[in-house]
Chains A and B, each alone.
Chain A
Amino acid sequence: MSPPSTYSCRGCNVPANFFDRLRAIVLSFFLIAAFAVPALAGPFEDAVAKFANDEFSDTDEAIGAVATSGNPLAFPIISALQDGRLSADPESKKVFVTGADGKIIDAATGAAVASLPAGAVAVRLNNRLRRTVEAALGGLTLLSPDPAKRLTAAQSVFKSHEEAALPVIDGALAKETNKAVKAAFAEARAAILLYKSDASDAEKLESIAIIKARGDQEALALLTGLGSDASPPVAQAAAGAISAIQSNLAMWSMVQNAWYGLSLGSVLLLAAIGLAITFGVMGVINMAHGEMVMLGAYTTFVVQEVIRTSYPGLFDYSLLIAVPSAFLVAGAIGVLIERSIIRFLYGRPLETLLATWGLSLVLQQAVRTAFGPTNREVGNPSWMSGAFELGQITITYNRLWILCFTLAVFAILLAMLRYTALGLEMRAVTQNRRMAASMGIATSRVDALTFGLGSGIAGIAGVALSQIDNVSPNLGQSYIIDSFMVVVFGGVGNLWGTLVGAFTLGIANKFLEPVAGAVLGKIAILVLIILFIQKRPRGLFALKGRAIEA
C-alpha cells in the first residue's frame, strides 16, 4: 500500500493488521471470562522475555502474545505496562512488575522479588503501542465490577466498533443494571451492528436511530465514516441522521461560542479590574499594571514551591494561600511605587506614562534576574484540572473557576467601595479632591491605599492567570493592552462599565474567531473599538456630572 520507508525505523515492521490482533485479544478475554482457561507454560515465558528487547516491534508482539495467553499474570503485566511500572533487565532478559503497592514480582513466574536489578529500565511505549494496550485492557474491563470502568470500556468499543466484541457486549448488556452503562453498551452494540457486513437492514436502521439519539461528534464521525457501500435505505437513513446531528451541533456551537466568550471576558475583566481602579478611578496611566499581574503569578509560584518542599499535603490549597499572599505582595509594591514615584507626577499624564513604562521594564528585568528568563512551572490543583460535558459542549474546570473567581472579586470590590470607610474616602477623593481634603480626609494616604488596592487586585489576577498562561517575566505585557482596551471601552471611572466592556469584548471576539480566524478577529475587534470611541469618546458608561471635572 504505502511505499517502503526510505528511513529506517524501529518498530515499523510489526504484523500490520492491528484489528486482527485486537479481535484476538478481545475474544481471548471473553474466553478467559467464560471458561477460565488454565495457564500454559512455555510460550508465555518467551513472550514476556520479548519485553526486554527494547524494540517496539517486539513489545507489540509480546503484548499480543501475553494478552492471548490466558495466563492470570496477563492483566497485571499489561496494566503495569500502561502505567510505566513494567521494567526489564536487558542483561538477564528478565521482566518485572512493580505493583501499585510497590511489591515487585517476576513477570514470567509471578514469584516475589526483593528488589529490581541495577540495570532494569522501564519498558518503553509509543503512541501506537499505547493504543494496543488500551484496547487490550478495554476488552477485559467490559466485564469489570466497577461501573465507571465498564463505561469507559463501552465507549472505547463504540469508537473502535470491533465486531469481535459483539458477543461480550451482548452478554454484558443483558446483565447490566446501571442505566448510563446500559445506554453506553447499547450504543456500542449499535456501532458494531452498523459496520457489521452481515447485519440486516432492519438492524442497521435501528442502530442508526440509537446513534442519532447520541447526537455528538463521535456519532457524526461514525455515520460519515459509513461510506457508500451501504444499501440505499440505510444510506438514506444515515444521511438523514447526519443532517439532524449537524443542525443540532450547529446550535450547540453557538452555546459553545457564548461560553468561550464569557470565559475570555472573565479573563479580560480579571486583568482589567485592577486597572479600572488605578487608571479608571485615580486617572493614573499605569503601564506597570501588567507587571503587578506578573508579580502575583510569581508569588503563586513561590507559594507552591514552599508547599512542595515543606507541606506537600497542602498542594490543593496552594491557590487559596496564594491569593492573599499575592494581594499583599503586589499591594505593598503598589504602595511603594505610589509613594516613591507616582505621587510626584499627579496631573502630568505623559510623565506618568513614561515613568510607569520604565518601571515595568525594571520590574521585568528584576524578575528575570531573580527567577531566570525561562517559564516557571505553576501546577494546577486537582480541582482546577480536567473538564466536564454539558450537552454537546466541553467546559474546562479551570475556566469555570476563573469565571466564578472573577465575579467574586468584582462583587467584593464593589462592596468595599460602597460600604467601607476606606471606599467612601476613595470615592470622595477621586470625585473632588479639594473638598475631601477640607473635610479632613488625608488625601495622600488615600491615594497610596487606592493605588495599593488596584495593584493588589492585579496581583490576585496573576494567581488566576498563572493557571492558564505562562509564568514568565513577559506575562504582564500580553495583558496590558487588553486591559486598557477594556477600561477605555467600558468607560473610564466606572466599574460596571469595565464588567460590561470585558464581557462584550470577550463574546464578540469568540463569535468573530471561528469566522475570521484568531489574527483577523483580534484586528476586527480593535477596529470596532476605534470606531466606537469616535462615536462615544467616554466609553459605554460615561460618568456624568461634576465628577468628571475633578
Chain B
Amino acid sequence: MLTQLTHDIATLSRRRWLAATAGLVLGLAAFGSAQAQETIKVGVLHSLSGTMAISETTLKDTVLFLIDEQNKKGGILGKKLEAVVVDPASNWPLFAEKARELITKDKVSVVFGCWTSVSRKSVLPVFKELNSILFYPVQYEGEESERNVFYTGAAPNQQAIPAVDYLMKDEKVKRWVLAGTDYVYPRTTNKILEAYLKSKGVKQEDIMINYTPFGHSDWQTIVADIKKFGSAGKKTAVVSTINGDANVPFYKELGNQGIKATDIPVVAFSVGEEELAGIDTKPLLGHLAAWNYFQSIKDPANEKFIKAWQAYTKNPKRVTNDPMEAHVIGFEMWVKAVEKVKSTDPDKVIDALPGIEAKNLTGGTSKMLPNHHITKPVFIGEIKANGQFDVVWKTPGLVAGDAWSKELDGSKDLIGDWVGKKCGNYNTKTNKCGGQGS
C-alpha cells in the first residue's frame, strides 16, 4: 500500500502537485481516485498573483466549489471531475502558455478562465489551434464571437445600454460623463455608448469622455471637472467603466468633494460586491451599478447558493458577485452538454452547447445562443450603506447577448451564428462569412 502510494505521488504531474499541495482541490480524494478510475479534467485559468488576483482568485475558488458540488452528485458520466489549477500571474503572454499547458499536457476537457479582455485575446489562438473550450465569465466589450469560446458574462447590450436607458428615463439625465480606464473594454464600450446617446438626440457638447491610466489614484482634477460639467443647469450622470483598483480613490474623492448620488449619480459597470468590500460605503449611498446578478436578490436559488458558498469557503461574510454567477451558469451548461452527447469531445460539446438552458441564480433560465453568448436579466442596483446593492430596476425578461454591437457602423450588420451559418462574423447584408474581426 505504502509503495503504491509513493508510486502514485511520483507519477503525479508537477501541476497536479501544485493543486494538491495548495490544498485547493479534492485533496486526498484526488490521490485515491487517480488510479482507481479515470477522471474528467477541468482547467482553471485565473490569476492567483499580480494585479488581477484581487478579482480572479474568487473565480478560481468558485470553479473549485462547483466541481466539488458536482462530484458530490456523482460527477459526470460516472466519472469524477478533477480541477487543474494554473496561475497565469496577471501576465498576458503567460495566459497563452498556461492555456497550452492545460490543453496539451494536462489534457483538460474544458477551461474556465480569463478576466481582462487582453488575456482572452491572448489565449484565443491557442484554443483555436488546439480546438478546446473556454468559458469566459466577465462582462466585456463585445465585437467577438469565436467557435471555441462561450461568453457567459454580459455583452454591452446586456449591461451598458440598459443602464443608460434607466438614467435617461427614470432620472431624466441630459448630460453624460463617460469616464473609464484607458484600455480596450472602456474605449469600446464608450464608443458604443456615444453612438447610442447620439442616436437618442444627445448633443456632442453634452458628452464628456475621460480616460485615466490603470491604478489612477489622484482624482482631484477629474472630480472637479465632473462637478464643473454638471453645473450647466442640466441633470448630469457619470457612466463609469473605471477598472478595479482605481475605483476606491475615485469614490473617496467624490465623497470628499461632496458629490452626492442625488446630484450627480455614478453608474458603474465594474464595481460589484467584491470591490465595495474595501470601501467605506456610507458616502456612496445611492450611486448605481448595472449587473446581471446581485447578492442581495431574493430568490431561493440564490439564497441556497450563498449558503453553500459561505459554508465551502468557511467564511460567513464571503460575498458573491456577477462573474461568479456567470461561472455557475457556464458550468451547468457545460455539464448538461457533456451529459447530452455522453462525451467530452470538444467538437461534440461545442455543437451541443447552443440551445442548452441553465437556471441562473435570480429566478430565470438562461440559454446559450448560437452566437455563444447567453440570455441574461439586467438589474440596476443602488449602493446601500452595508456594501450591498438594492435593486431599483430590472428588465422584464431576459436580454439576449449581442456579439456584435448594433450601434457601431463597423459591426451593425454582423451576427455570430455557429449553428446555421457556422460563422462568428456573418454579414447579413452581403450574406457572406467574414468582415470585421477574425
Which residues does chain B contribute within 8 Å of A220, judged by CB atoms? 231
Report the separation of the CA atoms of residues A376 and B278 in the bound assembly, to the nearest whole angstrom: 5
The reply on A443 being an interface residue by CB < 8 A is: no
Q: Smallest Cβ distance from A545 to chain B, in angstroms? A: 37
The reply on A519 being an interface residue by CB < 8 A is: yes
Report the separation of the CA atoms of residues A126 and B166 in the bound assembly, to the nearest whole angstrom: 13
| B169, A131: Cβ atoms closer than 8 Å | no
The reply on B249 being an interface residue by CB < 8 A is: yes
The reply on A471 being an interface residue by CB < 8 A is: yes
Chain A 311-327 residues near chain B, CB threshold 8 A: none
Report the separation of the CA atoms of residues A522 and B214 in the bound assembly, to the nearest whole angstrom: 12
Q: CB-nearest residue of chain A relative to B49?
A: A365
Q: Smallest Cβ distance from A523 to chain B, in angstroms? A: 9
Q: Which of B92-100, B125-133, B390-398 contacts A (4 or more CB under 8 A)?
A: B390-398
Report the separation of the CA atoms of residues A56 and B394 in the bound assembly, to the nearest whole angstrom: 13
| B256, A469: Cβ atoms closer than 8 Å | no
Q: Smallest Cβ distance from B392 to chain A, in angstroms? A: 5
Report the separation of the CA atoms of residues A197 and B415 in the bound assembly, to the nearest whole angstrom: 54
| A385, B227: Cβ atoms closer than 8 Å | no
Count: A-B pairs, CB below 8 Å: 161
Q: Which of B31-39, B50-58, B77-85, B334-342 contacts A (4 or more CB under 8 A)?
A: B50-58
| B171, A127: Cβ atoms closer than 8 Å | yes
Q: A224-B233, A373-B54, A519-B212 are in contact. Are A7 and B249 (CB under 8 A)?
A: no
The reply on B5 being an interface residue by CB < 8 A is: no
Q: CB-nearest residue of chain B relative to A468?
A: B249
Report the separation of the CA atoms of residues A99 and B34 in the bound assembly, to the nearest whole angstrom: 63
Report the separation of the CA atoms of residues A126 and B392 in the bound assembly, to the nearest whole angstrom: 7
| B262, A134: Cβ atoms closer than 8 Å | yes
The reply on B416 being an interface residue by CB < 8 A is: no
Report the separation of the CA atoms of residues A2 and B169 in the bound assembly, to the nearest whole angstrom: 7
| A127, B390: Cβ atoms closer than 8 Å | no
Contact with B along A461-488 (1 / 0, CB 8 A): 0000000111111100110000000000
Report the separation of the CA atoms of residues A84 and B286 in the bound assembly, to the nearest whole angstrom: 13
Q: Which of A20-28, A396-404, A493-501 contacts B (4 or more CB under 8 A)?
A: A396-404
| A10, B393: Cβ atoms closer than 8 Å | yes
Report the separation of the CA atoms of residues A131 and B396 in the bound assembly, to the nearest whole angstrom: 26
| A257, B382: Cβ atoms closer than 8 Å | no
| B53, A368: Cβ atoms closer than 8 Å | yes
| B168, A2: Cβ atoms closer than 8 Å | yes
| A8, B211: Cβ atoms closer than 8 Å | no
Interface centre among A12, A225, A264, A377 (most CB of B within 10 A): A377
The reply on A128 being an interface residue by CB < 8 A is: yes
Report the separation of the CA atoms of residues A65 and B321 in the bound assembly, to the nearest whole angstrom: 39
Q: A7-B165, A478-B215, A519-B212 are in contact. Are A124 and B232 (CB under 8 A)?
A: no
Which residues does chain A contribute within 8 Å of B395, judged by CB atoms? 7-8
Which residues does chain A contribute within 8 Å of B392, judged by CB atoms? 10-11, 56, 126
Interface centre among B48, B224, B253, B390 (most CB of A within 10 A): B224
Report the separation of the CA atoms of residues A397 and B124 in the bound assembly, to the nearest whole angstrom: 48
Q: Smallest Cβ distance from B224 to chain A, in angstroms? A: 7
Report the separation of the CA atoms of residues A149 and B57 in the bound assembly, to the nearest whole angstrom: 48
The reply on A455 being an interface residue by CB < 8 A is: no
| A396, B231: Cβ atoms closer than 8 Å | no
Q: B280: which of A5, A373, A374, A377 is its contact (CB, 8 Å)?
A: A377
> Interface size for chain A: under 10, 10 to 19, 20 to 34, or 35 or more residues?
35 or more
Q: CB-nearest residue of chain B relative to A385?
A: B256
Chain A 31-60 residues near chain B, CB threshold 8 A: 56
| A518, B212: Cβ atoms closer than 8 Å | yes
Q: Smallest Cβ distance from A151 to chain B, in angstroms? A: 15
| A374, B231: Cβ atoms closer than 8 Å | no
| B249, A469: Cβ atoms closer than 8 Å | yes
The reply on B162 being an interface residue by CB < 8 A is: yes
| A518, B216: Cβ atoms closer than 8 Å | yes
Which residues does chain A contribute within 8 Å of B407, judged by CB atoms? none
Chain A 138-164 residues near chain B, CB threshold 8 A: none
Q: B258: which of A128, A267, A375, A386 is its contact (CB, 8 Å)?
A: A386
Report the separation of the CA atoms of residues A225 and B235 in the bound assembly, to the nearest whole angstrom: 12
Interface centre among A12, A134, A473, A474 (most CB of B within 10 A): A474
Contact with A along B212-233 (1 / 0, CB 8 A): 1101111011101101100111
Which residues does chain B contribute within 8 Å of A387, judged by CB atoms? 256-258
| B265, A127: Cβ atoms closer than 8 Å | yes
Report the separation of the CA atoms of residues A264 and B216 in the bound assembly, to the nearest whole angstrom: 12
The reply on B277 being an interface residue by CB < 8 A is: yes
| B232, A221: Cβ atoms closer than 8 Å | yes
Q: B261: which of A127, A374, A471, A518 is its contact (CB, 8 Å)?
A: A127
Q: A519-B211, A519-B213 are in contact. Are A469 and B248 (CB under 8 A)?
A: yes
Which residues does chain A contribute within 8 Å of B278, judged by CB atoms? 374-377, 470-472
Q: CB-nearest residue of chain B relative to A514?
A: B221
| A474, B221: Cβ atoms closer than 8 Å | no
Which residues does chain A contribute within 8 Å of B182, judged by CB atoms? 519
Q: A12-B170, A373-B53 are in contact. Are A514 and B232 (CB under 8 A)?
A: no
| B286, A124: Cβ atoms closer than 8 Å | no
Q: A368-B53, A470-B245 are in contact. Are A263 and B220 (CB under 8 A)?
A: yes
Q: CB-nearest residue of chain B relative to A124?
A: B390
Which residues does chain A contribute within 8 Å of B249, judged by CB atoms? 468-470
Report the separation of the CA atoms of residues A57 and B108 in the bound assembly, to the nearest whole angstrom: 52
Q: A373-B54, A396-B253 are in contact. Are A5 and B169 (CB under 8 A)?
A: yes
| A126, B382: Cβ atoms closer than 8 Å | yes
Given contacts A12-B169, A260-B224, A373-B54, 5 further A-B contacts (CB under 8 A): A11-B170, A126-B392, A260-B220, A473-B53, A518-B211
A residues bordering B, Cβ < 8 Å? 2, 5, 7-12, 56, 84, 124, 126-128, 130-131, 134, 217-218, 220-222, 224-225, 256-257, 260, 263-264, 267, 364-365, 368, 373-377, 379-380, 385-387, 394, 396-399, 468-474, 477-478, 510, 513-514, 517-519, 522
Q: Could you name 9 residue pairs across A and B whose Cβ atoms are closer than 8 Å?
A: A128-B170, A217-B231, A220-B231, A221-B231, A263-B218, A377-B277, A469-B249, A470-B249, A517-B211
